[in-house]
């Protein structure tokens, strides 16, 4: 079993709790002093950071949502002056609710430490060659993995996503041993190898770390069998870091959360009451070591369970179950989040009103396809087929441009879908084994 930082990764639970309390107190003090949003909230409930003497006491603090972050866009949630910020990213860019995230030099160092732990847990060493097939851009994902791999001393190929034929050639020529991508890209690479008549047996791949979208156990089996590798899941949030929040160890029985950097809670997304370990609910994350962009009780929207029982790998940090669902109507498709409100706004811009519509996602030939089903109304009813086709094509173009990939638009008869369900996910994620 390989650890990057065995002392921390296997420390006893009491020491974890003590470290969390200290990190929390320091973070609360810093945000109270430097972030107007938190100072206002704390004052409203007559809370002073020094009041927190146990981890239970901070549970009186209100939750933080993505909306709070975008209301303070771009820099009002930063807890340090901009001159101390060395890196800026955004979450999946959304004009209506943008969120900017900053990192200090120390945050960058911690980020590399966390992703190094993730990579070392699945056996990455300085002898490895990592192919990062995630899109390098304003999103943080690939940069965090790169930093961790370089910390380990592995060789990094910042390949970016797409260009599957080139990916396969580079993979073979550069003797790639570790693939980092979304599961969708991994499946795409398998198909590209088939077309190029390249036998994965002849490659040097040994493992892959996959994330940024929900993926089934059957997809894991397919990737492992076809590429002859071990495939593990990783979980991140751009608001927090990107990758480096939680990851699977070789036991593949839940994802260890780095508890020396984060406090994880599970709440009922409706009543907002805390839920006991083992119960499925919304994951809430508090950062206790971040300098530039600390988050206190941030509601992730992701549904999972926490397991505090010991893991066979020896790591003592708790595990969350793999994440397949969200508690809101946000769909995660091809590594991007899409909410019905965003699509509704675009439909409204184009046609001057918001029709009844439903978002439906389905996996077709290894690729997630997003369908926008729109009810035909008098306004959308054209006597000329050609006019109607042009209109649908226009919607398709506008929506695809917005998402950055093809979206399917269909006009349907009223009553075709249940209008109380704005979102339908037809992808099948196998049931996660009970923790
Ligand atoms: Zn483990």
β strands within 322-386, DSSP E: 325-326, 331-333, 336-338, 357-364, 367-375
- What would the pLDDT profile of 261-307 be if each residue is shown by its tens digit? 999 999 999 999 999 999 999 999 999 999 999 999 999 999 999 99
Assess contact for 177 and 149: CB atoms under 8 A: no
Query: What's the CA-to-centroid distance between 321 and ligand 1, angstroms?
Result: 12
Query: What's the CA-to-centroid distance between 267 and ligand 1, angstroms?
Result: 24
Query: What's the CA-to-centroid distance between 372 and ligand 1, angstroms?
Result: 40
- What would the pLDDT profile of 113-157 be if each residue is shown by its tens digit? 999 999 999 999 999 999 999 999 998 999 999 999 999 999 999
pLDDT at residue 206 greater than cutoff 90: yes
CATH number attached to the domain at 332-425? 3.30.300.30
pLDDT at residue 430 greater than cutoff 70: no
Residues pairing with 179 in the sheet:
131, 208
- Predicted confidence at residue 256, as pLDDT, reads 98
Angle, helices 385-403/340-351, rounded to nearest 10 degrees: 140
CATH fit for domain 1-328, picks 3.10.20.30, 3.30.1220.10, 3.40.720.10, 3.40.50.12780:
3.40.50.12780
Question: Which residues are within 8 A (CB) of 87 and not within 5 positions of it... i.e. 6 or more apart?
Answer: 102, 103, 107, 108, 143
For 187, 199, 227, the CA distances from 167, given in Å and listed in that order, are 13, 14, 14
Q: Is residue 372 exposed (0-12), middle (13-18) or buried (19+ Cβ within 10 Å)? A: buried
- Predicted confidence at residue 45, as pLDDT, reads 94
- What would the pLDDT profile of 302-349 be if each residue is shown by its tens digit? 999 999 999 999 999 999 999 998 888 888 888 788 889 889 988 888
Query: What's the CA-to-centroid distance between 317 and ligand 1, angstroms?
Result: 8
Going by pLDDT thresholds of 50, 70 and 90, the confidence category of residue 168 is: very high
- What would the pLDDT profile of 18-76 be if each residue is shown by its tens digit? 999 999 999 999 999 999 999 999 999 999 999 899 998 889 999 999 999 999 999 99
Query: What's the CA-to-centroid distance between 293 and ligand 1, angstroms?
Result: 28
Q: With pLDDT > 90 as the criterion, what percentage of the chain qualifies?
A: 75
Assess contact for 143 and 103: CB atoms under 8 A: no
Backbone angles phi, psi at 358, to 5 degrees: -140, 140
- Predicted confidence at residue 20, as pLDDT, reads 98
Q: Is beta strand 423-425 parallel, antiparallel or unpaired with respect to 281-287?
A: unpaired
Query: What's the CA-to-centroid distance between 6 and ligand 1, angstroms?
Result: 12
Top-confidence residue, 121 or 353: 121
Q: With pLDDT > 70 as the criterion, what percentage of the chain qualifies?
A: 97
Q: Once rounded to an integer, what is the mean pLDDT over residues 409-435? A: 80
Assess contact for 298 and 115: CB atoms under 8 A: no
Q: Is there a shared CATH topology between the 1-328 domain and the 332-425 domain?
A: no
Mean pLDDT of the chain: 93
- Predicted confidence at residue 349, as pLDDT, reads 87
Query: What's the CA-to-centroid distance between 311 and ligand 1, angstroms?
Result: 5
Domain chopping of the chain, boundaries: 1-328, 332-425
Assess contact for 101 and 78: CB atoms under 8 A: no
Residues pairing with 181 in the sheet:
210
Nearest to 357 by CA among 370, 97, 368: 370
Angle at 366 between CA 115 and CA 253, to 5 degrees: 40
pLDDT at residue 236 greater than cutoff 50: yes
């Amino acid at each position: 079993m390989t650890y990057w930082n065995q002392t921390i990764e296997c420390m006893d639970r009491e020491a974890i709790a003590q470290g969390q309390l200290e990190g929390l107190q320091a973070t609360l003090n810093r945000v109270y002093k430097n972030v107007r949003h938190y100072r206002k909230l704390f004052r409203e409930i007559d809370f002073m950071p020094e009041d927190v003497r146990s981890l239970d006491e901070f549970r009186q603090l209100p939750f933080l949502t993505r909306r709070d972050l975008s209301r303070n866009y771009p820099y009002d949630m930063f807890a340090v002056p901009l001159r101390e910020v060395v890196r800026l990213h955004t979450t999946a860019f959304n004009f209506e609710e943008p969120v900017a995230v900053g990192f200090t030099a120390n945050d960058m160092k911690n980020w590399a430490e966390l992703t190094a732990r993730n990579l070392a847990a699945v056996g990455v060493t300085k002898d490895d060659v990592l192919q990062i097939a995630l899109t390098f851009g304003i999103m943080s994902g690939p940069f965090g993995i790169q930093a961790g791999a370089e910390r380990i001393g592995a060789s990094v190929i910042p390949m970016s996503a797409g260009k599957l034929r080139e990916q396969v050639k580079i993979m073979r020529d550069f003797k790639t041993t570790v693939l980092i991508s979304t599961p969708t890209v991994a499946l795409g690479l398998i198909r590209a190898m088939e077309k190029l008549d390249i036998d994965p047996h002849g490659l040097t791949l040994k493992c892959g770390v996959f994330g940024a979208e929900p993926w089934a156990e059957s997809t894991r089996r397919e990737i492992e069998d076809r590429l002859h590798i071990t495939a593990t899941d990783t979980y991140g949030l751009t608001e927090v870091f990107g990758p480096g929040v939680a990851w699977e160890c070789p036991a593949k029985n839940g994802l260890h959360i780095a508890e020396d950097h984060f406090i994880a809670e599970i709440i009922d997304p409706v009543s907002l009451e805390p839920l006991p370990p083992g119960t499925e609910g919304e994951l809430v994350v508090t950062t206790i070591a971040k300098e530039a962009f600390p988050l206190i009780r941030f509601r992730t929207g992701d549904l999972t369970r926490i397991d505090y029982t010991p893991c066979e790998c020896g790591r003592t940090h708790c595990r969350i179950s793999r994440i397949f669902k969200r508690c809101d109507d946000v769909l995660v498709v091809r590594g991007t989040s899409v909410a019905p409100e965003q699509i509704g706004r675009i439909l409204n811009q184009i046609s001057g009103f918001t029709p009844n519509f439903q978002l439906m996602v389905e996996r077709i030939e290894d690729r997630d396809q997003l369908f926008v089903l729109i009810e035909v109304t008098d306004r959308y009813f054209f006597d000329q087929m050609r006019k109607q086709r042009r209109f649908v094509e226009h919607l398709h173009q506008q929506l695809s441009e917005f998402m950055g990939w093809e979206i399917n638009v269909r006009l349907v008869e009223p009553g075709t879908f249940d209008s109380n369900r704005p979102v339908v996910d037809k992808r099948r994620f196998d049931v996660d084994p009970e923790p």
